Amino acid sequence: MSLFDANTLLLVNAVFHGFMALVWLLMAQVFRIAPLAARLLAGAYLSLIPALLCLDCLGGWAASFSGLPQRLAGLLGMALVSLGVRRLMRLRMRWLDIALIAVVAGVFTTALSLAQDARAALAVNSAGMGVLTLLAARDLLTGGRTSQPGWILAFLLTPYLLLGLALLSRSVGLLWPLGEASELLPQQQAISAGLAWLYLLLTLAIGIGLVGIVMSRLVERIRYMTLRDPLTDTLNRRAMAAELLLLQAQVERGQQHSLLMIDVDHFKHINDSLGHAAGDAALLHLVEVLRANMRDLDRMGRMGGEEFCVLLPHTPLDQAGRVAQRMCDALRRQPPVWLGQPLKLTASFGVAPCQAGDPQGDASLALADWLVYRAKSLGRDRVCLAEPGLPLGHSRRGA
């Protein structure tokens, strides 16, 4: 047996499929990463192994995936790959189109195999697998065009397209009249090794690409979590500082931005009288009400405890004041419900412009913070706006 003959390459491919099945099972069962997609892809790799262990499968026209069980296993594997890709790309989980292609191809493959027409059975089988592979490529393109750079998407798509076209070409070649095709084909063993090499390289590329998608999602999730407050899912202080830094740079170029500081009134009383669970529920309700009165480009972050900040890009001070008043009124009108009873929840708002000459935004934050203190000293549940000529550098000294 040559080191690079078809049988050896298929054994290597089978081992790789087994390894990838184990990887996806670990992702699904141990690490809980994209569990449904991981189970589907694990099933796909396991289903394709029987076809690869048919060691005479590339020995001639009718030999590839020669046995009926191997052909049906190949169809099942490609159907599961297509479903797994669809789930991994977070597309609508429709399965009837994939099931229809697999069932129709499986029925015709079975009928032709029982009729002892092995070449036609293999042609139908190859066509079904090719269509399923191209369907996976389409879903990868649909789900990845908005989330992946063009060159990465091209790298991910190429092996699916090549494998799908190779399977369809093999189907056409098998149905071509043997007398006309024989003169155009090299020796059968050369075809066997070539197909085995092609399948090995493409499945390696597909496997690496799928794992790469999951790993990039995991990295993005970790990055997302490092920038978010775990309770309210708002930006944390570090992320807000980065957002404010960008706005302040735009202020130096003449753009107008504003920010709101919000502090829940009597929050310590809520925690002390009703418990921290009630306090957490109150904060979640506050975030929900504030978000309902924000635009998509606005940013909200938790600065600590019961204090929040909202950045309002391209918003003059007077408009920001109206936004804050709308939030304040909505919070008063929509109290949270705790243990079946409405819970009084209000907040004090400080509204300040993002000011030139303040590259880090520290003075703007301090001014808004001082205005919150002022709102509380005037009776709470109100909005205080910065006044023209108010000096920078105010700091809050109590609540």
Q: What is the pLDDT of residues 244-260, one digit of tens each?
A: 999 999 999 999 999 99
22: in domain: yes
Asked if residue 185 has pLDDT above 90, the reply is: no
Q: How far is CA 345 from CA 223, 266, 306, 335, 380, in A?
A: 33, 8, 12, 6, 11
Q: Which residue has the higher pLDDT, 309 or 94?
A: 309
In the sheet that 258-264 helps form, which strands lie side by side, from edge to edge?
Answer: 299-304, 307-312, 258-264, 347-353, 383-385
End-of-domain residue from the set 226, 258, 291: 226
The structure tokens listed for 99 are 């099931």
Is the whole-model pTM more than 0.75? no
> Do 174 and 246 reside in the same domain of the chain?
no
The H or E element that residue 341 is part of is: strand 341-342
The pLDDT tens digits for 76-88 are 999 999 999 999 9
396: in domain: no
> Do 185 and 313 reside in the same domain of the chain?
no
> Do 309 and 197 reside in the same domain of the chain?
no
In the prediction, which pLDDT does 206 show? 95
> Do 131 and 246 reside in the same domain of the chain?
no
335: in domain: yes
Average pLDDT rounded to a whole number, residues 136-146: 92
> Do 208 and 244 reside in the same domain of the chain?
no
DSSP secondary-structure letter at 391? P
Asked if residue 397 has pLDDT above 90, the reply is: no
Q: Give the count of domains, the chain.
A: 2
299: in domain: yes
The pLDDT tens digits for 28-60 are 999 888 899 999 999 999 999 988 875 444 334
**What is the DSSP annotation of 280-335?**
HHHHHHHHHHHHHTS-TT-EEEEEETTEEEEEETT--HHHHHHHHHHHHHHHHHS-
Tell me how far apart the alpha carbons of residues 355 and 350 are, in angstroms, rounded to a whole number. 15
> Do 119 and 189 reside in the same domain of the chain?
yes
| Domain span including residue 64 | 6-226
> Do 303 and 170 reside in the same domain of the chain?
no
The H or E element that residue 350 is part of is: strand 347-353
139: in domain: yes
391: in domain: no
> Do 209 and 279 reside in the same domain of the chain?
no
DSSP secondary-structure letter at 33? S
End-of-domain residue from the set 226, 246, 279: 226
> Do 22 and 166 reside in the same domain of the chain?
yes
**The domain that contains 335 carries what CATH number?**
3.30.70.270
> Do 51 and 164 reside in the same domain of the chain?
yes
Backbone angles phi, psi at 90, to 5 degrees: 60, 40
User: Is-contact 396 286, C-beta < 8 A?
Assistant: no
> Do 51 and 123 reside in the same domain of the chain?
yes
397: in domain: no
394: in domain: no
Backbone angles phi, psi at 75, to 5 degrees: -60, -45
In the prediction, which pLDDT does 387 show? 83
User: Is-contact 45 18, C-beta < 8 A?
Assistant: yes
Residues whose CB falls within 8 Å of the CB of residue 187, separated by 6 or more in sequence, listed in order: none
> Do 22 and 131 reside in the same domain of the chain?
yes
End-of-domain residue from the set 226, 251, 271: 226
Residues with a catalytic annotation lie at 306
